[in-house]
Amino acid sequence: MSTPLKLLAFSAGLLAVFGSMFLAGRALVPAETVANWTREADESDSEHGAMDSGHASAGHESGAMGDSQVRGLSVEQDGYRLSPVTAPPVPGSPGRLSFRIIGPDGMPQVEFETSHEKDLHLIVVRSDGDRFRHVHPRFDSGTWSLPWTWDEGGSYRVFADFVPGGATDSPNVTLGRNVEVAGDFEPVARPTSRSDSVAGFDVSVAGELRAGQGSPLAFTVKQGNRPETRLQPYLGAFGHLVALREGDLAYLHVHPDEGGGTGPEIRFVAEVPSPGRYLLYLDFKVGGVVHTAEFVLEAK
């Protein structure tokens, strides 16, 4: 037999072997499982496509999803799902931001446990870490909503942080979804920073972030050169801290140190999963007004 004929016969044999293996695999894997795989792949492609169409890659799903310290990179966690977010499409146009939490039964979740004095915390931030907002929408007939106006265009990440009710040992759930707002914007450069000034207050942070372990952080609030000792409780503590990993905006665990008092120091323990830069947003309350100080720290 000539060489070309031998190669043709060999190729035909390989096709027959792989064909039989494929048919055997189809016989071993239930049709329903194959359909589920296909559906999940389609949903993943759809979600990635929506994120890639924006100005930045905020919220892009990655291997970090397997890390228990990292949340908010997916629209779904522990069977709970964040619906599409309805919001004004352009900056400067007043409207409402609204969404639903879909429970494991496929119906809107209506029971929530109070956590940090609220049933749900809504965090909104642009992909460059700017335009941070921490607010608390109202709940009505399965829908969370509040009045909303965008200041600038860009790709925003919306986080819904809550503890579902009606179940034993309910998990703390943080869901995230991207919202694209029409209009150009200039990304804000955010160099490493351990201090910030807001509304006449000077705030600084001491402590180092260490990847893979709890890192104590101490924030000191001053007004002028005078230590601020009139801090008021806010969300069950004398300060509330949100930490996001720069780039994918992964939402991290931050625990308040209950030993803190009315100032000037507010203490937390932050858990960061990997080296890199982290965006920190500290909410503190003085004279009935909540202020937000922003920092950028490098984790080793």
DSSP class of residue 52? H
Tokens 């759809």 sit on residue: 46
Distance CA 113, CA 132 (A): 25
Q: Give which of 240, 299, 298 is closest to 268, Cα–Cα.
A: 240
What integer pLDDT is reported at residue 13 of this predicted model? 43
pLDDT band at 171 (very low <50, low <70, confident <90, very high): confident
Give the DSSP letter of residue 31: H
Tell me if 63-181 shares its fold with 195-299: yes
**Which of 152-166, 188-202, 261-275 has the weakest average pLDDT?**
261-275
Superfamily assignment of 63-181 in CATH?
Immunoglobulins (2.60.40.10)
For residues 254 and 1, the model is more confident at 254
Looking at per-residue pLDDT, the higher value among 267 and 70 belongs to: 267
Contact 296, 191 (CB under 8 A): yes
Q: Yes or no: say if 196 and 203 are a contact pair by the CB < 8 Å rule.
A: yes
**144-162 confidence digits (pLDDT tens):** 999 999 999 999 999 999 9
What is the pTM for the complete model shown? 0.76
CA distance 190 to 242: 16
Tens of pLDDT, residues 46-62: 333 332 322 222 333 33
pLDDT at 225: 87
The strand ranges marked E within 100-210 are 101-102, 112-113, 120-126, 133-135, 138-140, 143-148, 154-164, 173-181, 195-198, 201-206
Between 263 and 186, name the one with better pLDDT. Answer: 186
Kindly indicate the confidence band of residue 259, based on its pLDDT and cuts at 50, 70 and 90: low
Confidence band, pLDDT 50/70/90 cuts, at residue 256: confident
Q: Which pLDDT belongs to residue 261?
A: 65
**Tell me, what amino acid is at 231?**
L
Evaluate whether the domain defined by 195-299 bears CATH number 2.60.40.10.
yes
> What's the CA gap between 214 and 228, in Å, rounded?
27
User: Contact, 160 vs 84, CB < 8 A?
Assistant: no
Domain ranges of the chain: 3-48, 63-181, 195-299
Nearest to 149 by CA among 98, 90, 100: 90
DSSP string, 38-50: HHHHHHHHHHHHH
Per DSSP bridges, beta strands 133-135 and 138-140 are unpaired
Cα gap 22→83, rounded to integer Å: 37
